[in-house]
Amino acid sequence: MRIAVFGADGYLGFPLSLCLLGRGHEVIAVDNGVTARRAACTGAPSVPADPGPLEQRLGGTGATVVEADVRDQERVRQLLQDVDVVVHLAQQRSAPYSMLSPEHALETVSDNLDSTMAVLFACRETGTRLVKLGSMGEYGTPSVPIPEGEWTLELGGRTARLWFPRSPGSFYHASKVCDSVYLRFACQCYGLTCIDVQQGPVVGVNTAELRERNACTRVYYDDVWGTVVHRFCAQASAGHPLTVYGRGGQTRGFLSLADSTWATATACEQIMDLPAGAYMEINQIAWTRSVRQLAEEVAALARERGCPAALSHVPNPREGCELEEHFYEVEAAVLRNWGLVAEEPQQVLGETLDYMLAHSRELRASVLAPRHTFRDGGDTCRDGHG
Ligand code: USQ
C-alpha cells in the first residue's frame, strides 16, 4: 500500500515509517520540523540532541521525504493523491506545553484543529483512509472501566449506544477530543473511513527496525516534552530524585515504542477491511501502572546498575487538572485480537534506563525538576511560541 506518515520526524513517526517500510509498504514521510523547533524554544534537548535530517535517516529505504505543513489544505490534498492510508501524527502533542500560556493553549488547539480539518477534507476528496493518533487522556479517569468504542446507556427504560463521556485534563487533551468529534461526524456525513487510536503514554527508545539500522528517534526528558518514564530514567541516570507528582497514584495505560509502532502499522492494514464510512475507536495500551509504581520500578532497576536512585514526592504541577488517586481500568480488546504480544514492562524500563545512562553526560540538569504549573503556566517562550 501507499501510506503517508504525517509527523514522520517525531518520536513515533520515524520508527513507524521504518516499521511500515519493513512490512513492504511505500511510505511518504511528511514533516515540517516544528516539534524540534518548539522543544528548542522551551529549552528542551532531545536525546540524541540532533538525530540528523529525516531525509538522511530514511536514506536508502525508498521512502519519499517531503517537507510540508499539514495545516495547508491544498498541500495536503496534493500529498494524498493516490495514497491508500494516511497516519496523522503531525500535532502539538505535549499537555504541559498547551498549559504554558494563553498563546500556547491557542497555538495547540488551533494548529491541531487546522491539521485535522485539512486531512479530513483531503481524505474526503481522495478517498484516502485515515489512522488518527488520539489520546487515552480524552477520557480522563472516570471511576468506571473505560470501554473501547461505543457503550450502552440505559435511561428511562430505554437504551442507547453512545460515545463514552470525555473529560480532558489539558488543552492538548481537549484538542484531541475535538479531533474525535469532527472525525466521527465526517465518517457519518461524508463516508470517511477512520481508526481513531486512543493511545496511552508510549515508553522506550527502540524497535526492531531502529536496532537494525542502528538509528535513534527523538526522546525527550524535560518537564514539558518528556513523558513520565523517560523523565524518571533520565533523572535516575543524572543522580536527580525521581519527581513523583503529588501522591503518585495517577494511573495510566502504557505501551512500548515497539508495540505502538506495531499496533499503528497494523491499524493501517486493518483499516482497508473496514466498510466505507466506518469510524472505529481503539484503546492503544498494553499495561497499566501508577506513576508511584513506575518510579519504584525504575529506582530498583537503577540501583541494580549501581545508581543510588531516590523518589521525591513534589507538589503536583497539574494539581486541579488530574486526580492523584483513582480507579483505572481500560478495555483494550482490539489489539489483543490483532495479535499484539506486548513487550515486558521490565524489559522496556531497563532498556530505556540503559539508554539514558549511556547519554548521561548529555542530560541537562536544569530541565529535570518541574518548572511550570498547569494553573499558572510559566514564562518559557512566551514571546516565541511555536
Ligand atoms: N508525572 C509525574 N512526574 C513527572 C512527570 C509526569 O508524576 O516527572 C505524572 C503526571 O502528573 C501524569 C503522568 O505522570 O499524571 C503522565 O504524564 P506524562 O507527562 O507522562 O503524560 P501526559 O502529559 O499525559 O501525555 C503523554 C503524551 C501525550 C499522550 C498522553 C497519553 O505526551 O501525547 O496523549 O501521554 S495519556 O497520558 O493517556 O493521556
Q: Which domains does the chain have, with CATH numbers?
A: 2-367 (3.40.50.720)
Q: How far apart are CA 290 and CA 326, in angstroms?
A: 10
155, amino acid identity: L
Is 158's pLDDT higher than 90?
yes
Q: For ligand 1, what atom is nearest to the CA of residue 94?
A: 32
Q: Which whole number is the average pLDDT over 214-232?
A: 97
CA 313 to chain centre: 25
Global pTM value = 0.96
Instruction: Point out the least confidently predicted range of 10-19, 286-295, 374-383.
Output: 374-383
Query: Which residues are bridge partners to 373 per DSSP?
Result: 377
Q: For ligand 1, what atom is nearest to the CA of residue 228?
A: 20
Q: Are 245 and 235 in contact (CB under 8 A)?
A: no
Q: How far apart are CA 227 and CA 360, in angstroms?
A: 17
Nearest C-alpha neighbor of 245 from the set 320, 313, 293: 313
Say what percent of the chain tops pLDDT 70: 98
Record the cell numbers describing residue 5, joined without a space.
506518515
Record the cell numbers describing residue 124, joined without a space.
474526503
The rounded Å distance from CA 176 to ligand 1 centre is 15
Q: Which whole number is the average pLDDT over 249-270?
A: 98
DSSP 8-state assignment for residue 101: -
The rounded Å distance from CA 175 to ligand 1 centre is 16
Nearest CA to ligand 1 atom 4: 228
The rounded Å distance from CA 359 to ligand 1 centre is 22
Residues 6+ apart with CB under 8 A from 314: 243, 244, 245, 246, 369, 370
* Ligand 1 pocket mutation pick from 243, 252, 356 by most atoms within 8 angstroms of CB: 252
Is 384's pLDDT higher than 70?
no
Q: For ligand 1, what atom is nearest to the CA of residue 226?
A: 19
Reduce the secondary structure of 215-275 to three states and give it as a string. Answer: CCCCEECCCCCCCHHHHHHHHHHHCCCEEEECCCECEEEEEEHHHHHHHHHHHHHHHHHCC
The reported pLDDT for the residue numbered 379 is 57
Sign of CA dihedral 297, 302, 303, 307: negative
Q: Which whole number is the average pLDDT over 137-153?
A: 97
Which of helix, strand or coil describes residue 4? strand
Using CB distances shorter than 6 Å, the residues near ligand 1 are: 93-95, 135-137, 200-201, 227-228, 231, 243-245, 248, 250, 252, 291, 318, 322
pLDDT classification of 386: cutoffs 50, 70, 90: very low
Nearest CA to ligand 1 atom 23: 95
Nearest CA to ligand 1 atom 10: 245
Q: How far apart are CA 96 and CA 377, in angstroms?
A: 8
Cβ burial of 339 (10 Å; 0-12, 13-18, 19+) is: exposed
Record the cell numbers describing residue 95, joined without a space.
499537555
Q: How far apart are CA 217 and CA 101, in angstroms?
A: 28
Give the pLDDT confidence of 310-357 residue by residue, as tens digits. Answer: 999 999 999 999 999 999 999 999 999 999 999 999 999 999 999 999
The rounded Å distance from CA 52 to ligand 1 centre is 27
The rounded Å distance from CA 34 to ligand 1 centre is 21
